[in-house]
């Protein structure tokens, strides 16, 4: 695919958001409320995609959202988003969420998610992403290969009406 303005690296889109869990983020079971985490994931993914395309984006789909572990009041939560794939007008963004131990800084993954963000014009209509994605590391290459498979699965699901 041809891209109007060349390429940007995965790292250029990297977006990190850090939170400390407060009462407003906690559900009735004293754990991080899933809806609040989804809001943070959406926000972090949107910023990463916006950094890549250099403009406005909208979330078209939250493709896969896996809750692996909970988080508790007063825990530090870190979200890291990166663009993993660029289509014509859309980008796939992976968001990993961790809790961070205060004494050691050790991070444990509690959630990972893939979102589809679409580059939009001033009327909210899709427009081409001007930059392709330059993958440099082995893990970035593996993510890209995974993203291509996920794209195929999405197309099949769309054709089958899911
Ligand atoms: C997202 C949106 C702009 C797409 O517009 P559209 O007219 O359907 O445009 P298209 O069908 O050309 O899709 C645009 C791109 O998004 C991708 N896309 C759209 N829906 C998708 C889905 N459900 N899953 C994966 N990709 C999707 C398309 O594959 C296409 O990607 P490509 O250009 O890289 O090939 C439009 O549906 C919209 O405005 N949705 C509401 C977004 C919103 O309000 N989000 C916040 C939720 S609260």
Report the SS3 class of residue 104: coil
Q: What is the DSSP letter of 24?
A: G
Q: pTM higher than 0.85, yes or no?
A: yes
Task: Name the one residue in this structure whose structure tokens are 């906690």.
Answer: 26
DSSP symbol at 25: G
Give yes or no for a contact between 86 and 132, defined as CB atoms under 8 angstroms apart.
yes
Nearest CA to ligand 1 atom 1: 60
Q: What token pair was written down for 138?
A: 């082995």
- Within 6 A (CB) of ligand 1 lie 58-61, 87-90, 116, 118, 120, 124, 126, 154
CA–CA separation, 27 vs 152, rounded Å? 36
Q: What is the pLDDT of residues 50-82, one digit of tens each?
A: 999 999 999 999 987 888 999 999 999 999 999
Which of 50-59, 120-129, 133-142, 149-158 comes out lowest in average pLDDT?
149-158
DSSP β-bridge partners for residue 76: 20, 100
pLDDT in tens, 109-129: 999 999 999 999 999 999 999
Topology of the domain comprising 7-159? Thiol Ester Dehydrase; Chain A (3.10.129)
Nearest CA to ligand 1 atom 24: 61
Cα 43 to Cα 30, 105, 106, 132, distances in angstroms: 23, 24, 24, 22
Listed in sequence order, the residues at least 6 apart from 118 whose beta carbon sits closer than 8 Å to its beta carbon are 57, 58, 59, 60, 89, 90, 91, 126
118 CA distance to ligand 1 middle (Å)? 6
């Amino acid at each position: 695919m041809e891209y109007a303005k060349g390429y940007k690296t995965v790292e250029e889109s990297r977006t990190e958001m850090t939170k400390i869990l407060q009462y407003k983020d906690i559900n009735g079971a004293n754990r991080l409320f899933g809806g609040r985490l989804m809001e943070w994931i959406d926000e972090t993914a949107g910023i990463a995609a916006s950094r890549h395309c250099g403009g406005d984006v909208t979330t078209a789909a939250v493709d896969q959202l896996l809750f692996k572990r909970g988080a508790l009041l007063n825990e530090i939560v870190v979200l890291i988003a990166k663009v993993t794939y660029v289509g014509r007008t859309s980008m796939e963004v992976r968001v990993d969420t961790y809790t961070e131990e205060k004494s050691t800084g050790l991070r444990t993954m509690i959630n990972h998610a893939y979102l589809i963000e679409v580059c939009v014009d001033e009327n909210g209509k899709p427009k081409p992403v001007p930059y392709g994605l330059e993958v440099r590391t082995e893990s970035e290459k593996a993510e890209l290969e995974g993203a291509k498979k996920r794209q195929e699965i999405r197309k099949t699901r769309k054709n089958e009406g899911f």
